[in-house]
Structure 1
Amino acid sequence: MNSTQRWMGGVVLLGGGVLLAALLLKGKDEIYQNELKTPERASQVEQQKPATTGEMVQLQPLTVDVETEKRLLEEQRRAREKAVAEQEARAAEFLVMQQQAEAEAARKAAEEYAALNAHRTGAQQSSDNIPPELIEDEKVKQKRLADEKLSAEKKLQQQKVQQQTDADKKIAEDKRKAEAEKKLAEKKAADKKAADDKLQQQAEEKRKAAEKQEAARKEAEKKEAEKKQAQTKHEADLKKKAEAEKARDLLENGDKQWMVQVALAANEANADAVASKLRAKGYKVTKSPTSKGIRIMVGPAKNREVADSARKKITSDASLGMKSAWVIDWVPLEKR
């Protein structure tokens, strides 16, 4: 009878151990699967981020990435807590099932023992007639169950501690990655700002250079315009002065020009010879063809007195050999 009870108790304990091991393995597998899903979600989040290339891209606000990481970490924490709670519930359920199975085995063993004892004695035996070795076996069994329960609780506690440690490590690692990403994003933002500032400075320098060049061009144009204006004014003044002189001469002399006629040449060659002598002496010579020959004249003079003085000078010059010269009131053909 005792060996039968021991055999049944061993079978129950063996089955309970197998079931507990299966539950623990299943819990670890679920935790491992959750941990595998977490990096996948993190990688998906990383893939959703815009790739960094040599081109300038518009950076997303950093607060969106931080909030996303916080939300993912919170989901991971809740998933781990849920997995731990489910595992604890399964372990508690298994302990209850094991205790029920042990109680049922003990009850069946007691019933079999009572039936066997009743068959031998023909009467119901009281609990005082139970052999001492059976009572002793029951105490050992209870102690063993208590030790196993305590051991299971310790293992469960150690597992909880280990899971919490892993979770803390995971959170610390995620926090470190988030801080590294934040620093990288801040560095990229700073580099982009520095590049934008440099481009803006270059644009400002180009604008100032263009303004300076434009100012220089306008200044040159202004000076050139002033120069042209001054030249135009000078020319206008000279023109006005010439017109005034012309008007004064016209007012004083009209269309008359006082000339000193020195010779009347028969042909052009003789006229040129006489004109050359007079030009060599510094006189202004005018030739005018007539029906009798070519008239050679010196002048014009502004009045008759000047013309007469020139006539006297010419006739008194022996090198010229012009004894006959006279003052005439001569009008050019185009004004006749």
Structure 2
Amino acid sequence: MNSKQRWMGGVVLLGGGVLLTALLLKGKEEIYQNELKTPELAAQVTQQKPGTDVEMVQLQALTVDVETEKRLLEEQRRAREKAVAEQEARAAEFLVMQQQAEAEAARKAAEEYAALNAHRAGAQQSSDNIPPELVEDEKVKQKRLADEKLLAQKKLDQQKAQQQRTDADKKAVEDKRKAEADKRTADLKAAEKRAAEKKAAEKKAAEEKARHDADVKRKAAEKNEAEQKALAEKKKAQAQHEAEAKKKAEAAKKAEAEKARDLLENGDKQWMVQVALAANEANADAVASKLRAKGYKVTKSPTSKGVRIMVGPSKNRDAADAARKKINDDASLNMKSAWVIEWVPLDKR
């Protein structure tokens, strides 16, 4: 009797696993059928009527299709969520029924086992002359019960593994559905963007045409105005020519005056290119050696802040500035901060 109850419990577990798998497969099929019902966007485009504007009809139909597609996607999402919720509810109900059946089978097996032990104890008390064959049968029976328990536990583990695989498949289907929904949403957004860009291009073309017409009118007015001002411009050009001639004469006089003043002010001055300000004499000698190796004439001058290293002198500022640029552009010297200074030797100060 105990063996029969255990076999019944095993059959209940196996049948429950098959039923749960069938429910999940049916849910996947319903989700797939719902996804197949999505209408194609191209089937809803309104055909052109004779005498109407092609571009405007296509833009209006596209707007309607986008809104319809959004509404259909939302309805399908709600239907899928409802179907998944119903499947989960059925699965939970089945698990509860399965657990109750397992508990009932275990309870009956425990009652039978307790009755068998009571019967065995009564037989032991009534007689000590138990044949060895009965003892051996009892061991075989215990082994069989243990094997049955192990088999039931193995089936339970298999059902759990199947449930995990089913959950994984369900998650994969849901992820695929979500990816497809995201793709459709992206396609709708792309269609909206293309429609907006096309509309913007048409608006831009209209604006360009309006600007072109305005430019034509403006150029005609400018041409008329130019013809009216031609004589005035000619007179103005003649007056400007006379003014420029006068200005050149004044500039020549000013240049001569500047040259005389520069000769008066800078006649005894020399121009030097200060390359660096070294902290001590050793550093100054190192810098001076690099400059001399390049062929420059180097002068050092101690100051309160360090030793000044200079290249020159040059007779005018332009020559000194040319030397400064050459030193700054020489990458091997790595002296980017050279500048031109006015230098008066100590014997002339």
TM-score (norm 2): 0.45
Bigger-Rg structure (1/2): 1
